[in-house]
Amino acid sequence: MDEPEAASVSAFFGLRETPSPDGAHRALARLYAGDTAPLTSRIDTVAERLGTSERRVAASVAQLGLAARLWSIALGPAALSGRFPDLRAENLHWDPRQQAPDDLWTESAALLPGTADRIRDVVQYGHLEPLAEAVRRDTAVSSRLLWGNAGSALAGAVRQLIGWARTHGRPDVAARTRTLAAELFGHPALRGTGAPHGPGFRRRTCCLYYRGPGGGLCGDCVFDSAPGTPPRT
């Protein structure tokens, strides 16, 4: 796999090559097992950055950002080369102090087959499901909203990859991206999060970003205008 090529799509598609020198990275498996202090700290940081006292807004935005990273670092290499890094939770480490994109590195040098089934196993089952549970232990956020975030994050990764493929004359990458997306969105947890399952995705839930001071609507928001404001014209 050409890691620099994957990272060239956007910063969301790259992995750190070495851990932070101060040892701040923690295996995500520890978070999922109940060591939620790093996640609590991350949500606190996001809340401060957004200037919101509504914790569920910060929790949603934090989870959305990490979901976007998880999909991107698997889908990008898989679409580019047919393989992706070993991102299993015991190998993937996270530094919650950094701003978006979330700071991640894997201690494993192994490469996994870039199939939709393998990506689903590693990312959806291995990360997004336990991450949602961890977020909900910290903050009262609906499961449907968090899966909407996961669908939005996947669609965002697809959109960036297809845009990169067009710019760089790589129809093979665009074709593999569309095929992988169709299979991943075929899962019941993701199928109803929005449509179409590609660059034009529009979600069926809201991530709540608009509720923060100065917050607006995301490009794929379910709303045409923020609740309580005049509709778009």
φ and ψ at residue 63, rounded to 5 degrees: -65, -40
CA distance readout (Å), 125 to 82, 120, 172: 20, 6, 27
Q: What is the pLDDT of residue 3?
A: 57
Q: Please indicate, yes or no, if residue 228 is contained in any of the structural domains.
A: no
DSSP H/E element including 157: helix 143-167
What is the DSSP annotation of 41-57? HHHHHHHHHHT---HHH
Domain count, the chain: 1
Q: How confident is the model at residue 129 (pLDDT cuts 50, 70, 90)?
A: very high
pLDDT in tens, 31-63: 999 998 999 999 999 999 999 999 999 999 999
Position 65: which residue type? G
State both tokens at 168. Answer: 């760089």
State which H helix or E strand residue 188 sits in: helix 188-191
Q: What is the pLDDT of residues 72-113, one digit of tens each?
A: 999 999 999 999 999 999 999 999 888 788 999 999 999 999
CA distance 50 to 38: 18
Tell whether 175 is covered by a domain: yes
Q: For residues 177 and 162, is the Cβ–Cβ distance under 8 A?
A: yes
Say whether pLDDT at 115 is over 90: yes
Q: 125 lies in a domain?
A: yes
Domain encompassing residue 195 = 3-211
- The answer as to whether 218 is a domain residue is no
144-159 per-position pLDDT tens digit: 999 999 999 999 999 9
In a domain, 79, yes or no: yes
Banded model confidence at residue 13, pLDDT cuts 50, 70, 90? very high
Q: Is residue 226 part of a domain?
A: no
227 found inside a domain: no
- Asked whether residue 200 is assigned to any structural domain, the reply reads yes
